[in-house]
Chain A
Amino acid sequence: MSPPVKEVPGPSTPTAEERTTSAGFLRERVFTSTSPVWIFLVLVVITAVFSLMRPSSFLSSFDIKSIFINASVDLLLSVGMTYVIITAGIDLSVGSVLVFSGVIAAKVMIAIGGGSTHAVNAGWGVILAGCAIGILAGLAWGVFNGVLIALMRIPPLIVTLGSFGMALGLADVITGGVDVAGIPSQLGSTIGSGQLGPIPWLVLISAVITVLLGVVLHLTRFGRYTYAIGSNDEAARRAGIAVNRHLIKVYALAGALAGVGGVLSLAYFTTTTISGHVTDNLIAISAVVIGGTSLFGGSGTMFGTVVGVFIPVVLAQGLIIVNVQSFWQQVVIGAILIIAVYFDQLRRRTRSRR
């Protein structure tokens, strides 16, 4: 297996040599580990290039705002995906769960708001009830995924591929394949397109959730267990961590966030968007992986995910502004994704040689 490793003999007080190695070590960790520093620089460079090409329009407040709005729903899905991938899992169902939650929320609002003609004028009670039930529907899909994965030991890829089809299919069954319109207009005018001061509600909600769950991931026991399970689930089990229960919670979190995404998307478009989220799962997975989270589990950061969400959005926006076909965005993102995973593999190979 691994060849014998040279070890510095002697007392444990740091010698000059050990101090330099730890400085080199720091350098190594910043640049070759999952540190999102590199990918953040990529984002900075992309932003700078577009800003220089079209200084007047790219960083205008309108474009910044639309960049953030476009990113906000993807961000929620990616935050949940970050937790899932850190446990060495995957969740392909998020886009379908988003659609399902949006459909349920819309149907509930219309049902308790007095039917499709009256619900448009319904008040906050109806809106909040619909949102809550929509989010709960997302949570339920997450629990479903988590139970099958953790307790029945079915691989996450298969379970969530199944629920990807089931959630979208049921959304179609419920609606007959036709998008649900006629939701309370207040939802669209406030959360959907309104602002709190200069900040759109969509962006605010998404940002608060992201920061909160970033703190949970990096500073709390819940986050620590998420990393531990992805790193070595057997070690976590032997350390007395309730691994199965934790996995169910993580998938439930991803489902609930997809539910929130469904509600926000409903608010933004003021209708469900049944056919618009087939590739959301891949967008979220790409963002998380580009952000430096390893598909093998155990490592990753929330900051990296945020950067990984913004790169495609900024790129798409920028290409439109400089009059390049926006199809190029998909080409570039594909390449960045492959490069990011290549670096992760490289890192794993070098570390296993120690």
Chain B
Amino acid sequence: MVSTNGNGRQPILEARDLVKTYGHVQALRGANFSAYPGEVVALIGDNGAGKSTLIKQLAGVEQPDAGEIVFEGQVAHIPSPSAAQQLGIETVYQDLALAPDLDGAANIFLGREIVRPGLLGRLGVLDKRAMRERATKSFSELGVAIKDADAPVVFLSGGQRQGVAVARAASWANKVVIMDEPTAALGVVQSARVLEVIRQVRDRGLAVILVSHSMPDVLAVADRIEVLRLGRRVAVFQKEQATLESLVGAMTGAIEEQT
């Protein structure tokens, strides 16, 4: 059985009845989740609801104790972050995971460097120009304003750093981008920019999974909202139905709904 969001499409990535236990804490108790191509789905919930745990299972960082992950309609085993990357799933971590002393292009290509053709490439000589050109292209496509492509990212503002992290994910992902609290450390203007970048990624046909505590951001950018509470999905909202009150109600348990 394939669950749908009402218009008959198939989810690109789906979690079914996931269970994850740490010691005696049950972080996920049969959690369901689904993401569709070309949409921003927000994953919200109070602290301890299991959002981070769920993301870790989807990104290959951890393995669920029970339940299954379904990718493109097939049950998928994602044993590592690089396995997730090979499926086309990229994650932007909350702490960004950038190398602050390297420039934007170097960060985008970190671990996947382009080398020169021929013998030089076999010796590991980098093609810095090709990487810079592709990084610059990627930044401009996403509307990320990086004033100096050669500047170590530590010299960039918080918003620009976030832009680099998102551009890295967007450059490599061809199916799903998972973003963990992408606006948590940012000011108002910078947050608005990141949301714009999120829309850009969605408009390329990717699924964007947005984990956020910021209800205004969620309401602004999400096409669909899934709510976790105590390790289970307790509500799914379409963009039009969602209000601040209904979201908070579902998160806190004041309003009980479907699973």
- Across-interface contacts of A9 in B (CB, < 8 A): 189
- CB pair B85 A4 closer than 8 Å: no
For the complex, is A176 an interface residue (Cβ under 8 Å from B)? no
Residue with the highest number of chain A CB atoms closer than 10 Å, among B115, B125, B128: B125
For the complex, is A222 an interface residue (Cβ under 8 Å from B)? yes
For the complex, is A224 an interface residue (Cβ under 8 Å from B)? yes
- Across-interface contacts of B96 in A (CB, < 8 A): 235
Complex CA–CA separation, A206 to B128 (angstroms)? 28
Q: A2-B158, A240-B111 are in contact. Are A235 and B144 (CB under 8 A)?
A: no
Complex CA–CA separation, A14 to B145 (angstroms)? 9
A interface footprint on B47-79 (CB within 8 Å = 1, 0 otherwise): 000000000000000000000000000000000
Complex CA–CA separation, A136 to B69 (angstroms)? 50
- CB pair A7 B126 closer than 8 Å: no
For the complex, is B123 an interface residue (Cβ under 8 Å from A)? yes
Residue with the highest number of chain A CB atoms closer than 10 Å, among B99, B139, B185: B99
Shortest Cβ gap from A84 to chain B (Å): 16
- Across-interface contacts of A26 in B (CB, < 8 A): 148
Complex CA–CA separation, A298 to B151 (angstroms)? 14
Q: Which positions 82-101 of chain B face chain A at CB distance < 8 Å? A: 82, 85, 93, 96-101
- CB pair A298 B100 closer than 8 Å: yes
Complex CA–CA separation, A302 to B17 (angstroms)? 54
Shortest Cβ gap from B177 to chain A (Å): 15
For the complex, is A179 an interface residue (Cβ under 8 Å from B)? no
- CB pair A231 B151 closer than 8 Å: no
Chain B: interface secondary structure? loop
- Across-interface contacts of B148 in A (CB, < 8 A): 22, 25-26
- CB pair A234 B151 closer than 8 Å: no
Complex CA–CA separation, A351 to B147 (angstroms)? 16
Shortest Cβ gap from B29 to chain A (Å): 28
For the complex, is B130 an interface residue (Cβ under 8 Å from A)? no
Residues of B in contact (CB 8 Å), total 42
- CB pair A7 B189 closer than 8 Å: yes
- CB pair B98 A7 closer than 8 Å: no
Q: Which positions 138-170 of chain B face chain A at CB distance < 8 Å? A: 139-140, 143-145, 147-148, 151-152, 154-160
Residues of A in contact (CB 8 Å), total 39
Total CB contacts across the A-B interface at under 8 A: 105
Q: A220-B124, A221-B126 are in contact. Are A236 and B111 (CB under 8 A)?
A: yes
For the complex, is A191 an interface residue (Cβ under 8 Å from B)? no
Q: Which positions 105-131 of chain B face chain A at CB distance < 8 Å? A: 106, 110-113, 115, 123-126, 128
B interface footprint on A198-232 (CB within 8 Å = 1, 0 otherwise): 00000000000000000000011110100110111
For the complex, is A5 an interface residue (Cβ under 8 Å from B)? yes
- CB pair B124 A232 closer than 8 Å: no
Complex CA–CA separation, A227 to B187 (angstroms)? 30
Shortest Cβ gap from B58 to chain A (Å): 15
- Across-interface contacts of A335 in B (CB, < 8 A): none
Shortest Cβ gap from B103 to chain A (Å): 10
Shortest Cβ gap from A315 to chain B (Å): 30
Shortest Cβ gap from B138 to chain A (Å): 12
- CB pair A18 B147 closer than 8 Å: yes
- CB pair A354 B155 closer than 8 Å: yes
- CB pair B154 A351 closer than 8 Å: yes
Shortest Cβ gap from A242 to chain B (Å): 10
Q: A7-B190, A220-B126, A354-B154 are in contact. Are A239 and B100 (CB under 8 A)?
A: no
- CB pair A354 B113 closer than 8 Å: no
Shortest Cβ gap from A89 to chain B (Å): 15
Q: Which positions 76-118 of chain A face chain B at CB distance < 8 Å? A: none
A sample of 13 inter-chain contacts (CB < 8 A) reads A2-B158, A7-B145, A7-B157, A11-B145, A221-B124, A224-B106, A236-B99, A239-B112, A240-B112, A241-B111, A352-B154, A354-B154, A354-B155
Interface pairs A-B: 7 shortest CB-CB? A239-B111, A298-B101, A231-B99, A231-B101, A4-B187, A220-B124, A221-B124
Chain B residues engaging chain A, CB cutoff 8 angstroms:
81-82, 85, 93, 96-102, 106, 110-113, 115, 123-126, 128, 139-140, 143-145, 147-148, 151-152, 154-160, 185, 187, 189-190
